[in-house]
Amino acid sequence: MDDYQNPKAGKTYISPRLRAFGDSNRTVRIASKVIDSPDSYAFAKIKDEIVLRHKEDAKSYITAKFVEDTRGIFVLNIQGYTVATDKPHNASFSVTIQVTLPDPGRPDA
């Protein structure tokens, strides 16, 4: 079955609300997508030498984790993986934003 844990290429999947890891007061959603690439390149270190590897018909697996927080804090983490090895790439992106919600009891809100 294809879902956010086992995505098919070309489709984007979003998980149901899941309990955040280590904090039961917060929830997280996970979006995932597999992207087909005709060519893929990656750096590798062999002994003391850096080499560039090429692979044809490669796939990339990208996940985005959205942390939902009742305090108005939004956290987004994006991580790429190589499908063949299921290992994360050496780069990821994370952003945290605090949103100030209007107070419905204030007349100027």
pLDDT at 45: 84
pLDDT of residue 91: 66
pLDDT digit string, tens, across residues 50-105: 888 887 887 778 888 888 776 666 777 888 776 666 667 666 667 777 776 666 66
Cα separation, 69 vs 90, whole angstroms:
28
* The residue count for the chain: 109
**What is the per-residue pLDDT for 42?**
74
Instruction: Specify the amino acid at residue 65.
Output: K
DSSP 6-50: SPPBT-EEEPPPEEETTEEEEEEEEEEEEEEEEEEEEEEEETTEE
What is the per-residue pLDDT across 5-57, written as a single tens digit (0 to 9) for each? 778 888 888 888 887 777 667 788 888 888 887 877 777 788 999 888 887 88
Distance between alpha carbon 78 and the CA centroid of its chain, in Å? 3
In this predicted structure, what is the pLDDT of residue 65? 85
**Residue 109 confidence (pLDDT) above 60:** no
Contact 94, 64 (CB under 8 A): no
What's the pTM value of the predicted model, to 2 decimals?
0.60
